[in-house]
Amino acid sequence: MQSKKLIQKIDILTGIRFLAAIHVVLFHNFAFFDLKNISPWITNFIYKGEAAVSFFFILSGYILTHAYKERLNDSKQKRKYFFSRLAKLYPLYLFAFVIDLPRGLDYFFSQYPSNEATIKSVISGLAHILMLQSWIPRVTASWNPPAWSLSCELFFYIVFIFSVKPMMKSLRKKTLIIILYFFPIATYIFATYFTIIDTNTSIFHTFWRSFPLLKINEFFIGILLYGLHLQEDKFIKTIVKNGNIIFWGSIVISFILTTVARPYIPREIFSSALYVPIFSLIIITSQNDKVFGKKYFESKALVYLGTISYALYILHQPIATYFSLYLENSLFKGIFYLCGALLLSHLCYRYIEKPCQKKLTNLIK
C-alpha cells in the first residue's frame, strides 16, 4: 500500500530533477550570460552546480528501488532490467559523443604531435564509447566532460542487481546511511593526513569527483532512503510530517552555506559534507503533500522538463562549443543558448531517446 502511495509522489522529484540539471548547465556555462555586478551569494551558489550530480546519484538509487525492488527475481528479469537501463542511456550518450567529436579532435591535434594525438584520441574515445572513462582519471574529461556521471551510473546499475535486496532487508538502514555519509569525508581526511596522495593536483580532483567507488555511497543512500520509507520508519515519518519546514529550510541552508562555508571546506568534500544530507532531506520531505509549492514542482511543464533533463544534461556541453564559435558572451547569447539547449533536448528526447529506447527494449523481450 505504501508503495502505491509513493507512485503518485514521484512527479515532484522529476520536477526537481530538472532544476538540478539546470544548475549543472549554469555551472558550466554561466559565463555565456556575461552578467556583471551579481551578488557573490548567487555566483557562489551557481558555481557549486557540480554538486547537483550527487542529487542525481541519490535520486537514481531511490527511483530504481521504487521501480525494480520486486522485479529482479531471476536472470531473465535482471538481464531485462540492465538492458532497459542501457537502452535509455546509450543512444543519446553516443549522439552527444558524435556532436563533441570535432571539439575533441581539435583539442588533441592542437595540443600534441599527430601520432600522439591519434593514440590519445583513440584510447580516450574508446574509453568513452565503452562508458569506462570515470575509471581512468586521465581520460575522464577528454570527451563531453559531464558524461563521466553516466559511466558511474552504468556501474551502479550493475551493482544494484546484487545490492538492492540485502539493503532492503537490512535492519540497520539508518546506521548504514550514516556510515555511507561519512565514508568519503573520512577517506579524504585519511588520505590528506597521511599524505597518501597529493590532494592539490587537478588529476586528484578529477579522480575524487568522478571515480565510481567514491560516488557509489550516494547511490546506496538513495536505496536505503526508499527502504526506510517503505518500512514506515518513525524518524523518517517525523521528517516527512515536518516536511514543509525541512524541505524549504534545507534549500535555504544550502544556499547560505555555499557562500559562508565554501572557503573553509575543501572542494573535494564540499558536496559530501553539505549537499548529500541536504539532498537526502529534500527527497524525503518531498513525500509530504503539504510542501509549499508542490503543485509547481508537479506541474505538467516542469515534470516534462524533468523528463527531458537527461537529454539536457548529456547534450548541454557539446553544443556549448558551437555557440562559443559564433557568439560573444552576452545576455542574448546566454538566453539563446539556454533556449537552444532546451529545444534540442525536447527534439532529441522525442526523436532519439524514446524511439530508440522502445526499439532496443523490444529486442530483449
Is position 309 within any domain? no
Kindly state whether residue 9 falls inside one of the protein's structural domains.
no
Instruction: Work out how many domains the chain is built from and give that number.
Output: 1
Residue among 268, 27, 56, 265 at smallest CA distance from 145: 27
- String of DSSP letters for 18-57: HHHHHHHHHHHHGGGG---S--HHHHHHHTTGGGHHHHHH
91 or 184, greater pLDDT:
91
- pLDDT on residue 1: 42
pLDDT in tens, 52-81: 999 999 999 999 999 998 888 888 899 999
Residue 49 inside a domain? The answer is yes
Structure-model confidence comparison of residues 254 and 284, the more confident one: 284
User: In the predicted model, what is the mean pLDDT of residues 189-211?
Assistant: 81
Using a 10 angstrom Cβ sphere, with 0-12 exposed, 13-18 middle and 19 or more buried, the burial of residue 123 is middle
Could you tell me which residues come within 8 angstroms of residue 11 by beta carbon, excluding any fewer than 6 positions away? 297, 298, 303
Condensed to tens digits (0 to 9), the pLDDT of residues 154-176 reads: 999 999 999 999 999 988 899 99
Q: Quick one: angle between helices 11-29 and 331-348, nearest 10? A: 140
Fill in the DSSP letter of residue 349: I
Structural domain range at position 243: 41-299
Q: What is the pLDDT of residue 49?
A: 86
The pLDDT score that the predictor gives to residue 272 is: 73
Q: Is residue 249 part of a domain?
A: yes
Q: Is residue 258 pLDDT above 80, yes or no? A: no
- Residues 2-59 have pLDDT tens digits of 544 554 468 889 999 999 999 999 999 999 999 888 887 788 888 888 889 999 999 9
Residue 254, pLDDT > 90, answer no
* Grid coordinates given for 248: 524549504
Residue 245 falls within a domain, yes or no?
Answer: yes
- What number of CA atoms fall less than 13 Å from residue 30's CA on the CB side? 17
Residue 251 resides in a domain: yes
Question: Nine-digit cell at 313?
Answer: 544534461
Whether residue 75 lies inside any domain: the answer is yes
Give me the sign of the Cα torsion angle 346, 351, 353, 358. positive
What pLDDT was estimated at residue 347?
98
Extract the C-alpha cell encoding 133. 572513462
Angle between helices 300-307 and 11-29 (to 10 degrees): 60
Per-residue model confidence as pLDDT tens digits over 278-295: 999 999 998 888 888 888
Task: Please classify residue 259 by burial: count the beta carbons closer than 10 Å to its beta carbon, then call 0-12 exposed, 13-18 middle and 19+ buried.
Answer: middle
In this predicted structure, the answer to whether residue 193 has a pLDDT above a threshold of 80 is no
73 found inside a domain: yes
Question: Which of 86-100, 236-250, 321-335 reaches the highest mean pLDDT?
Answer: 86-100
